[in-house]
Amino acid sequence: MAVDIYEPEAAGLARDKTDALIARVQHEIDSGLLPSCQIALMKDGVIGVAKTFGDADPESRYTIFSATKAIVAMAFWTLLDEGLFRIEDPVSDHIPEFALNGKRDITIEQVMLHTSGFPRAPLGRNRWTDREDRLTAFGEWRLNWEPGTRYEYHPTTAHWVLAELIERGAGKSYLEYIRSAIIDPLHLHRFQLGTPSADQGDINELVAVGEVMTVDEIEAVFGVRELPVSEVTTELLLEFNRSEVREVGVPGAGGVSNAVDLASFYQALLAGSREILSEEAMADFTENVRCSLPDFLGTPASRSLGLVIAGDDGKSGMRGMGKTVSAAAFGHNGAGGQIAFGDPATGISFVYLTNGIDEHMVRQARRTTAIASRAGACA
């Protein structure tokens, strides 16, 4: 049975800094805003902090949304490392059904960098479970803009394509391959993608909290009165409370985990995990910035093939890793305020998970910056 751990010195962490982190995390629970959250802070393979706050048990798990993407991307990296794919390959070379409606020349690299031009392509929940129906949908998708010319986050579409590539390269379902290639070798006993209904009893129910921003608040913060259209809505996120949705294993959003397992995954990346990826491939995955196109706020994306890199431009906070990590830190956060990163300069990996979906996006972003900044300073 999982238990809370608070032994910062055993992991080479500064207790006064971890105390400050704990206090900041506890603040959101004490305010009555968030129902629960869970954190894990590790350094050089040792757990210094593993703590659950609010209405949840230490052994409980959370829906991690897009923090799932890093694990799925690493699984695909193993196939790249084996030479089964090249990142410059057109997706249609491997998935002919994808080629229609001007998508023939979209490359695997563009899909992984969110520059492929179909961020808002529809793939409704009724099509998730039928592979042939998904392939039909790939062909129906139309472009929102010319591939390679813009960066716009693809919340789920790109990773459905990646999942299909995994299936064609590995010769088995993407769920089976991700488990055999990543989850089992790294001993991520509490992480699941595609969670059977019988295993869902320990997943904390997602709850919408807070208030939606007014158009005046949006304009005051972003300088516009309307934000870009996205499939990521509170209604969609709450769909992940449904047993049948959790069972699917949505490759860009459907993982469930506790904080320790996800922090352990980033420890494996920091350590090199040569049993899974070659040294060259791991360096490319965790260090090589392949996309610096700006997002809608003008912040350079700073993306590798699957991860976000903190960067040395002073914008690591805008990338979800706070303001105290090194330029080499890497990670991938998730909707609803999930935080996950590792920092090669300090050996720290940190994960924060919550089941409180804050509808006030600026408050959520400020919370992320405050918590991640305190975590990054704990070495």
Q: Are 28 and 34 in contact (CB under 8 A)?
A: yes
Domain count, the chain: 2
Longest dimension (CA), the chain: 57
CB atoms < 10 A from the CB of 197, how many?
A: 10
User: Model confidence over 74-96: pLDDT tens digits?
Assistant: 999 999 999 999 999 999 999 99
Strand 46-54 and strand 36-43: pairing? antiparallel
Query: CATH number for the domain including 277?
Result: 3.40.710.10
Claim to verify: residue 288 and residue 160 sit in the same structural domain = no
Residue 14, class by beta-carbon neighbours within 10 Å (0-12 exposed, 13-18 middle, 19+ buried)? middle
* Amino acid, res. 362: V
Give the global pTM.
0.96
Name the domain boundary from 153, 179, 205: 179
CB 37 within 8 A of CB 353: yes
> Between residues 223 and 96, which one has the greater pLDDT?
96
Give yes or no: residues 282 and 361 share one domain.
yes
Is there a single domain that holds both residue 13 and residue 120? no
pLDDT digits 0-9 by tens, 136-182? 999 999 999 999 999 999 999 999 999 999 999 999 999 999 999 99
pLDDT band at 63 (very low <50, low <70, confident <90, very high): very high
Query: Is the residue at 97 inside a domain?
Result: yes
Same domain, 86 and 203: no
- Give the torsion sign (CA, 56, 58, 61, 65): positive
Q: Which domain holds residue 83?
A: 72-179
